[in-house]
Amino acid sequence: MATLTYRDALNQALREEMQRDPNVFLMGEEVGVYQGAYKVSRGLLEEFGPQRIVDTPIAELGFAGIGVGAAMGGIRPVIEFMTWNFAVLALDQIVNSAAKMLYMSGGQIPMPIVFRGPNGAALQLASQHSQAWESWLTHIPGLKVVAPATPADAKGLLKSAIRHNNPVIVLEGEMLYNMKGEVPDGEHLVPIGKAEIKRAGSDVTLLCHSKTLSVALKAAEQLAEQDISAEVLDLRSLRPMDEAAILESVQKTNRAVVVEEGWPYAGVGAQVVDIIQRDAFDDLDAPVQRVTQADVPMPYNKLLERAAKASPEKVVAAARRVLYLDS
């Protein structure tokens, strides 16, 4: 196995898929000459040229629409948004064209397109540039949504997304690009719709995805010091979710805490709770707890921002509540 950063794992996935299939191309703001806002496309312009690594103006609706048209014609575009916060301007193309085309055409027109870019809060980017987009996008039939937390999953899920014949949203954690981890050598695909246990445990399940994986793992370490065994389940795929993996873990531990980066109201965690209460209610020894961002626009102030985010301490407190160790 090689040790790669999250950004280099994404770069490797793009390079391998573009070498494998001449119909794959990358388009977005500064993906060519500047090599991407987070340098994910480093070296690709030199290898594949400007017809396959396409720099665009700051016009998200426009280049998302070009991507949709290209996909309708059988090409496989990868559309990079400099941040998903800017993608709000492209939602008409994502929601009304990409997501609905297969349905509206009676199955005649597939839509092999990937929309990807950084998601969620970084450090002091304030309210308009710190939003987690999961719940917005998972709400839409016709879209698949993945949120990799490790370099290995970033590579494997992006490759699977590019090969998929309908739209896939890839939400890359904005604070994860420098993260290092082992990535399998050779062909590495992670199936869309499959969760993975990142730490086994027996007392409580911590369900997470993307950046909250590190939060959950740190919480599990702190809980272990208190003789509490926490299982950490990385959802990886948010639509579809791996319901079988969720239920299997909760039926083993009988308690659950859902950790997410977004706001609490109608968040991804609410969907996880619905799955658990619907099919594992009798296995629960305590109500499910959720740890989310505070229900406010993200503050710019450093201390307030820290207070608004999910943290290992908040997860530990929630785990202790479901174990009836604290009220």
Q: Which of 30, 129, 139, 243 is catalytic?
A: 129
Angle between helices 243-253 and 268-279 (to 10 degrees): 60
Annotation marks residue 305 as catalytic: no
HEC-encoded secondary structure of the chain: CEEEEHHHHHHHHHHHHHHHCCCEEEEECCCCCCCCCCCCCCCHHHHHCCCCEEECCCCHHHHHHHHHHHHHCCCEEEEECCCCCHHHHHHHHHHHHHCCHHHHCCCCCCCCCEEEEEECCCCCCCHHHCCCCHHHHHCCCCCEEECCCCHHHHHHHHHHHHHCCCCEEEEEECCCCCCEEEECCCCCCCCCCCCEEEECCCCEEEEECCCHHHHHHHHHHHHHCCCCCEEEEECCEEECCCHHHHHHHHHHHCCEEEECCCCCCCCHHHHHHHHHHHHCHHHCCCCCEEECCCCCCCCCCHHHHHHHCCCHHHHHHHHHHHCCCCC
Annotation marks residue 139 as catalytic: no
Angle between helices 312-322 and 212-224 (to 10 degrees): 60
Identify the sign of the CA torsion 268, 269, 270, 274. positive
d(CA 141, CA 283): 30
d(CA 89, CA 227): 48
Q: Which of 16, 17, 60, 261 is catalytic?
A: 60
- Residues classed as catalytic: 60, 129
